[in-house]
Structure 1
């Protein structure tokens, strides 16, 4: 089973990020991108633990394990070409509260800043 990334398909920033990511995926692939509100997205979110279902975030399901917020973003580097993937170990050097704080700030204002 391929790994899955769920994004907000109604968000301009999320769609641009999905396009950016798609163009830079490594040849080995293995990542499928769906909207959270799509049929596949609803099915995947329905199978998540209750604590994760209400989070306003992107979801990365990697090897059957769900990741959200900055943890999902950093793990996406592993699907990209080598010159992006090489930054994976360094991205973890930023403390979790700082990473997730920035993620939540952008997430909260994304529709206002980038449009619907």
Structure 2
């Protein structure tokens, strides 16, 4: 974790990554309180957020979430989001796994995400309901 950001509960993701876009849809579907908002790293807002936290917008190696005023990265980001969703609170137990081990697994998927899951030519466009939760 590092730094802070004025907006809270914002998920930064790679908008051309099919896996990342599915992650966003997964969260949006289960986030019945509509707490989380989303920004693609390729958007102006997402690029500013990434740069503020030292993430290269042209070659992102992590997603991030700003939650409770703190930026979380890699496996911490994923678990922070998951453990905030109804029915997924059990994932808090995974924080007991040492961070270096969790981040090795995270980084392995992140490094190979385009090869394994594919890549969109352009940022994925959310449906109308989700569009209200997208920050550009």
Assess same fold via TM > 0.5: yes
**Structure 2, gaps ≥5 residues long:** 1-6, 120-136
Alpha-carbon distance, 1:32 to partner: 0.4
Q: What does 1:25-44 correspond to in 2, within 5 Å?
A: 25-27=31-33, 29-44=34-49
The aligned length equals 110
In terms of fraction of residues, the more helix-rich structure is 1
Please provide the CA RMSD for this pair: 1.6
Segments ≥4 residues shifted beyond 6 Å: none
Q: What does 1:37-56 correspond to in 2, within 5 Å?
A: 37-48=42-53, 52-54=54-56, 56=61
TM-score by length of 2: 0.73
**Structure 1, gaps ≥5 residues long:** none
Per-residue Cα deviation, 1:68-101 (whole angstroms, up to 9, x for no partner): 10010110023311x212331x111211111000
Per-residue Cα deviation, 1:48-69 (whole angstroms, up to 9, x for no partner): 3xxx333510011112211110
TM-score by length of 1: 0.85
